């Protein structure tokens, strides 16, 4: 008999708001994404200089994961992140650095972020999670695959919890949805419940 | 040289995304790596790009970087001796 | 838990457009690495590139539609086509694509919308009439191994009873320039684990593998797998080889074997100072330092999102043919801990092989294969 799993926490970041477990923690006055990100950083009380070297995907993933993971001792938390755009935001930035053959200055700090899984790396580092992870790309959140894979990881003992995330951002448009699946809680982990978080 | 050092500090803060650091926070002889500004391996590579882009200096041996990037002072010294821009 | 098997494999590389021609070339110690002069700002760079004219010719012989396909798409279709010919596509057959950059060349002409990885996967899925939505894994250089791990897990979950795992990446100015900025491009063909190594040589390839829960005529069973992060640095591997060591341990535990049962290791071996050193530390911690080990990057270069799957295909060949392929480019040990690097092709009765990969972001993957008799 497989044990039931639960969605124990959620974070949604979109339209200038940061919502944790359904409660709005921040409604931004900033007119742009960069300003909004800084406001979230301050609101969450994060002190992490590396933050400002990150690409936007990583910054948003760190912000979303912060409320869910802060203060937790649990380290066997798997990270399953996905999005529709891969690392296109910084891919374009890197492309710009090599577009002009006369002024050709590719930057390592930009190039390293031309891989979408780096945001997983950043969350792993911040929270010291030496755990299973994977980055998927799909047009919309693949609820079915994420549901099955999350169940598998916990039921097979490969993780004690799974942090699932949709980290989608390109230029100034962003939508971040993160939820933690755990062995205890009240909200049962089902595909319907997952879809509700997105709506 | 003072102008160059100031310019260097401004550029480093910008290029390395040192958010809460102001030009006056960086002392000329403070170590840039290790304890000082806590720069890492990617930052070191970025400084190599900076040398090329802003001062036209191509470091042929990246290991040279270690001594050149010790501090603002050593960087400014090297740049003033080798710049082509 | 259901058992999952690898039944069919195929690869498209500069050494050949099927497994047997690749194997023949490897046995003759041929490498796909040559000097390339096609990129103005990256002159005279060593890389392992597929001959485009040959690719087009092979593709035109197989595909008759007039719809345009990119180089990357042609490589994938050529790799997958013979497998689908043999095994077909059922209603629930999965398609899993591993790639880091896909059709990234589109950014050069500003055709950003064409560069979406999902678009690439859908195009291949449509061509072969898959009825399920393709799954795309883009997880740096471990993608190929991770995709196999995900396929195995999905079949164990009863999501489907078979899956095609495909992988591709091509050499582009986009990626070359990035590695250039990291000072990580070797001025000579790469030399994994060697004391004179100084960086990667990039390569391009496509690979396709058919996995199924049916054991008949299978080549090997996937008996253990894990994908664990270092949690250390986004571009530098952990000095203690933490994530790789934990991945190997977890895979071994799941396989229910002792580390001494592993007959050989196909490692990542990119030939950067730090990666190879990290692997030496991890393999020693896992007590695998005496196991014959190679890196195939001296033959194929680092094929990024394709590497894990391409090298798995060769690993399976080695297992089935009981022949260890030498680790090309290696002469003298250049890592701080001992490894048993394969220095010439060697016959060995083998049953179990370990394939590992590591990548930017601190990711690591390990999969263990057991030959089916």
CB-based contact, A142 to chain C, within 8 Å: yes
Q: Report pLDDT digits (tens) over C145-171.
A: 999 999 999 999 988 999 999 999 999
Chain C residue closest in CA terms to B46 = C181
Cβ distance A104 to C177 less than 8 Å, yes or no, reads yes
Cβ distance C231 to A135 less than 8 Å, yes or no, reads no
Chain C residues with CB under 8 Å of A91 CB are 101, 104, 107, 115, 174
Domain at A6-198: CATH architecture:
3-Layer(aba) Sandwich (3.40)
Q: Which of B40, B41, B49 sits opposite C181 (nearest CB)?
A: B49
Q: Cα-Cα-Cα-Cα dihedral of A137, A140, A141, A143, to 10°?
A: -120
Structure confidence at residue C247 (pLDDT): 98
Domain boundaries along the sequence of chain A: 6-198
Structure confidence at residue A33 (pLDDT): 96
Answer yes or no: is pLDDT of B35 > 80.
no
Chain B residues with CB under 8 Å of A108 CB are 42, 45-46, 49
Cβ distance C360 to A94 less than 8 Å, yes or no, reads no
Q: Are strands C45-48 and C202-203 parallel, antiparallel or unpaired?
A: parallel
Chain A residues with CB under 8 Å of C182 CB are 108, 111-112
The answer to whether residues A115 and A94 touch, using CB atoms and an 8 Å cutoff, is no
Chain C residues with CB under 8 Å of A85 CB are 116
Min CA distance, C270 vs chain B (Å)? 18
Structure confidence at residue A1 (pLDDT): 58
Min CA distance, A111 vs chain B (Å)? 10
Residue to mutate among B15, B35, B42, B62, with most A CBs inside 10 A, is B42
Per-residue pLDDT band for C203 (boundaries 50, 70, 90) equals very high
Q: Which of C118, C250, C359 sits opposite A139 (nearest CB)?
A: C118
Cβ distance C236 to B41 less than 8 Å, yes or no, reads yes
Structure confidence at residue A199 (pLDDT): 84
Structure confidence at residue A3 (pLDDT): 84
Chain C residues with CB under 8 Å of A170 CB are none
Chain B residue closest in CA terms to A111 = B42
Residue B15: which domain range? 2-82
Q: Which of A52, A108, A109 sits opposite B19 (nearest CB)?
A: A52
User: Which residues 74-113 of chain A have a CB within 8 Å of chain B?
Assistant: 103, 105-109, 112
CB pairs under 8 A between A and B: 30
Q: 3-state SS string over chain C?
A: CCCCEEEEEEEEECCECCHHHHHHHHHCCCCCEEEECCCCCCCCEEEECCCHHHHHHHHHHHCCCCCCCCHHHHHHHHHHHHHHHHHCCCCCCEEEEECCCCCHHHHHHCCHHHHCHHHHHHHHHHHCCCCCCCEEECECECHHHHHHHHHHHHHHCCCCCEEEEEEEECCCHHHHHHHHHCCCECCCCCCCCECCCCCECEECEEEEEEEECCCCCCCEEEEEEECECCCCCCCCCCCCCHHHHHHHHHHHHHHCCCHHHCCEEECCCCCCHHHHHHHHHHHHHCCCCCCEEECCHHHHCECHHHHHHHHHHHHHHHHHHCEECCCCCCCCECCCCCCEECCCCEECCCCEEEEEEEECCCEEEEEEEEECC
Per-residue pLDDT band for C271 (boundaries 50, 70, 90) equals very high
Arithmetic mean of pLDDT, B42-50: 94
Q: Which residue has the tokens 């103005």?
A: C40
Structure confidence at residue B36 (pLDDT): 73
Min CA distance, A93 vs chain C (Å)? 10
Arithmetic mean of pLDDT, B25-44: 88
0.90 surpassed by complex ipTM: yes
CB-based contact, B54 to chain A, within 8 Å: no
Name which of B79-83, C18-22, C65-69, C121-125 the model is least confident about.
C65-69
Cβ distance C235 to B48 less than 8 Å, yes or no, reads no
Positions of E strands within chain A? 6-14, 17-20, 23-27, 77-83, 133-137, 161-170, 173-182, 187-188
Answer yes or no: is pLDDT of C100 > 90.
yes
Min CA distance, B44 vs chain C (Å)? 10
Q: Please report, for the domain that includes residue B23, its CATH number.
A: 1.10.1200.10
Min CA distance, C311 vs chain B (Å)? 29
Chains touching C (at least 3 CB pairs under 8 A) are A, B
CB-based contact, A170 to chain B, within 8 Å: no
Chain A residues with CB under 8 Å of C40 CB are 101
Percent of chain C having pLDDT more than 70? 100
Chains touching A (at least 3 CB pairs under 8 A) are B, C
**Count of domains for chain B:** 1
Segments in chain A below pLDDT 70:
1
Structure confidence at residue A20 (pLDDT): 98
Answer yes or no: is pLDDT of C66 > 80.
no
Please tell me the distance from the alpha carbon of residue A168 to that of residue A69, in angstroms, as a whole number: 20
Q: Report pLDDT digits (tens) over C12-34.
A: 999 999 999 999 999 999 999 99
Does the predicted TM-score (pTM) go above 0.90?
yes
Structure confidence at residue A74 (pLDDT): 75
Q: Which of C40, C100, C137 sits opposite A101 (nearest CB)?
A: C40
Please tell me the distance from the alpha carbon of residue B41 to that of residue C98, in angstroms, as a whole number: 28
Chain B residue closest in CA terms to C234 = B42
CB-based contact, A185 to chain C, within 8 Å: no
Q: How high does pLDDT run on average in chain C?
A: 97
Chain C residues with CB under 8 Å of A94 CB are 174, 177-178
Chain A residue closest in CA terms to B48 = A107
Residues in chain C, how many? 373
Arithmetic mean of pLDDT, B23-39: 87
Arithmetic mean of pLDDT, C308-337: 98
Min CA distance, B62 vs chain C (Å)? 8
CB-based contact, B56 to chain C, within 8 Å: no
């Amino acid at each position: 008999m497989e044990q039931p799993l639960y969605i124990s926490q959620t974070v949604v970041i979109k339209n200038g708001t940061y919502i944790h477990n359904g409660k709005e923690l921040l409604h931004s006055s900033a007119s742009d994404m960069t300003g909004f990100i800084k406001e979230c950083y301050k609101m969450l009380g994060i002190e992490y200089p590396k933050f400002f070297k990150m690409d936007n995907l990583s910054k948003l993933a760190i912000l979303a994961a912060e409320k869910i993971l802060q203060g937790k001792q649990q380290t066997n938390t798997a990270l399953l992140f996905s999005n529709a755009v891969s690392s296109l935001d910084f891919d374009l930035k890197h492309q710009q650095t090599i577009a002009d053959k006369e002024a050709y200055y590719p930057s390592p700090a930009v190039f390293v972020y031309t891989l979408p899984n780096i945001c997983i790396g950043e969350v792993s580092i911040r929270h010291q999670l030496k755990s299973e992870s994977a980055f998927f790309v799909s047009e919309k959140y693949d609820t079915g695959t994420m549901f099955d894979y999350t169940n598998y990881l916990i039921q097979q003992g490969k993780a004690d919890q799974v942090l699932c995330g949709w980290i989608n951002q390109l230029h100034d448009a962003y939508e971040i949805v993160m939820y933690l699946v755990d062995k205890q809680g009240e909200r049962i982990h089902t595909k319907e419940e997952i879809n509700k978080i997105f709506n | 040289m003072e102008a160059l050092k100031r310019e260097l500090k401004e550029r480093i803060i910008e290029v390395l995304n040192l958010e809460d650091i102001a030009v006056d926070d960086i002392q000329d002889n403070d170590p840039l790596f290790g304890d000082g500004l806590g720069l890492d391996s990617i930052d070191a590579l970025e400084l190599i790009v900076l040398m090329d882009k802003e001062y036209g200096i191509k470091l042929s041996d990246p290991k040279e970087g270690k001594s050149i990037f010790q501090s603002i002072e050593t960087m400014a010294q090297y740049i003033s001796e080798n710049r082509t821009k | 838990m259901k058992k999952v098997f690898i039944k069919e494999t195929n690869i498209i590389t500069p050494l050949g457009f099927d497994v047997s021609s690749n194997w023949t070339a490897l046995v003759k110690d041929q490498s796909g690495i040559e000097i390339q002069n096609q990129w103005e700002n990256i002159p005279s760079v060593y890389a392992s590139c597929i001959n485009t004219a040959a690719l087009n010719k092979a593709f035109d012989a197989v595909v008759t539609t007039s719809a345009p396909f990119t180089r990357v798409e042609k490589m994938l279709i050529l790799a997958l086509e013979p497998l689908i010919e043999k095994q077909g596509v059922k209603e629930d057959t999965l398609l899993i694509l591993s790639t880091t950059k896909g059709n990234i060349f589109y950014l050069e002409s500003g055709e950003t919308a064409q560069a979406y990885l999902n678009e690439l996967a859908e195009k291949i899925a449509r061509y072969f009439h898959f009825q399920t939505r393709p799954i795309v894994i883009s997880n740096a250089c471990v993608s190929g191994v991770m995709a196999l791990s995900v396929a195995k897990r999905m079949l164990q979950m009863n999501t489907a009873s078979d899956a095609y795992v495909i992988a591709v990446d091509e050499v582009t100015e986009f990626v070359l320039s990035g590695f250039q900025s990291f000072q990580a491009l070797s001025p000579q063909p790469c030399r994994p684990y060697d004391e004179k190594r100084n960086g990667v040589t990039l390569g391009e390839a496509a690979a396709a593998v058919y996995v199924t829960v049916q054991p008949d005529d299978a080549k090997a069973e996937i008996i253990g797998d894990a994908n664990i992060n270092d949690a250390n640095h986004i571009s530098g591997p952990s000095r203690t080889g933490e994530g790789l060591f934990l991945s190997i341990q977890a895979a071994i535990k799941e396989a229910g074997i002792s580390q001494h049962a592993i007959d050989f290791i196909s490692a990542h071996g990119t030939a950067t100072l730090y990666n190879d050193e990290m692997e030496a530390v991890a393999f020693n911690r896992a007590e695998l330092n005496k196991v014959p080990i190679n890196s195939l990057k001296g033959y194929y270069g680092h094929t990024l999102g394709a590497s894990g799957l391409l090298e798995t295909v060769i690993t399976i060949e080695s297992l089935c043919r009981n022949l260890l392929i030498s680790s090309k480019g290696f002469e003298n040990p250049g890592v701080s801990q001992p490894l048993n690097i394969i220095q010439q092709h060697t016959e060995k009765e083998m049953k179990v092989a370990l394939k590992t990969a590591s990548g930017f972001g601190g990711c690591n993957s390990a999969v263990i294969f057991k030959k089916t008799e």
